[in-house]
């Protein structure tokens, strides 16, 4: 069975996340239903990362096996047609070697978290960013973020429902930058714990408000206890921005 690699973008607003759920509409269910309409075949679409409800994607990667060879452009156009009116789109389709696996072949994942820091409410970015009205010091947030870069026990930033076998992760990048009213937090690692990025952002908010210092960030990390860190940032500001693979 030929295997195809898909690159997807989606607006997670109102969706139950990537993974098929007993209740609620998921991205996976929408795409699998589109494939069934296109090729009269039930398929399993496997993604690089199972984004939560309300989380968006700029370049999610998935793979699917079909019963026969198809033209990649035909697949892209047909699936996008059958996905309407959902705000989910297939950006690219390419035939992949059978050993390629969207999740297990991935060498890294990149996330973007958007904060709009202003007094006025969001109009265009409602459900697509975290609106914070209190002034934030993005440079202080960036300095605090560097405490978390490296190989650590991230139990303080791990959701209680996380199913990962170990809290040990290597965070390759955690940058905070500001452009006008928007603060962008960019995180890169081979993999992340459940809610890790949102929990790190919620904790960095305390630094931006001047309530915490870099030392407080270090203490929270060392505590290895979720209650020692800050709040979980809203899902609406989080985007899976990319997935890395070894070049062929």
Which residues belong to the active site? 52
Report whether 103 contacts 47 (CB < 8 A): yes
Strand 130-132 relative to strand 56-65: parallel, antiparallel, unpaired? unpaired
Alpha helix positions (H), the chain: 27-39, 72-83, 138-145, 196-208, 214-223
Question: At 18, is the secondary structure helix, strand, or coil?
Answer: coil
Is the CA virtual torsion 241, 89, 6, 35 positive or negative?
A: positive
Q: Is 35 exposed, middle or buried (0-12, 13-18, 19+ CB in 10 A)?
A: buried
């Amino acid at each position: 069975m030929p295997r195809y690699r898909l690159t997807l973008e989606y607006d997670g607003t109102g969706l139950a996340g990537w993974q098929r759920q007993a209740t609620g509409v998921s991205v996976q269910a929408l795409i699998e239903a589109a494939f069934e309409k296109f090729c009269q075949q039930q398929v399993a679409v496997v993604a690089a990362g199972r984004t939560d409800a309300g989380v968006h994607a700029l370049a999610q990667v998935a793979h699917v096996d079909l019963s026969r060879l198809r033209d990649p452009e035909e697949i892209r156009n047909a699936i996008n047609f059958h996905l309407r009116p959902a705000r989910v789109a297939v950006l690219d389709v390419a035939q992949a070697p059978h050993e390629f696996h969207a999740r297990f072949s991935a060498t890294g994942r990149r996330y973007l978290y958007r904060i709009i820091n202003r007094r006025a409410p969001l109009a265009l970015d409602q459900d697509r960013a975290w609106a914070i009205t209190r002034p934030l010091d993005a440079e202080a947030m960036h300095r605090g973020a560097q405490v978390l870069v490296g190989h650590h026990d991230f139990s303080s930033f791990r959701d209680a429902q996380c199913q990962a076998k170990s809290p040990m992760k290597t965070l390759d990048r955690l940058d905070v930058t500001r452009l006008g009213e928007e603060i962008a937090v960019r995180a890169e690692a081979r993999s992340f714990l459940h809610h890790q990025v949102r929990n790190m952002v919620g904790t960095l908010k305390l630094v931006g408000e001047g309530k915490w210092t870099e030392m407080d960030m270090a203490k929270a990390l060392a505590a290895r206890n979720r209650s020692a860190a800050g709040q979980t940032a809203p899902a609406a500001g989080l985007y899976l921005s990319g997935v890395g693979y070894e070049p062929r």
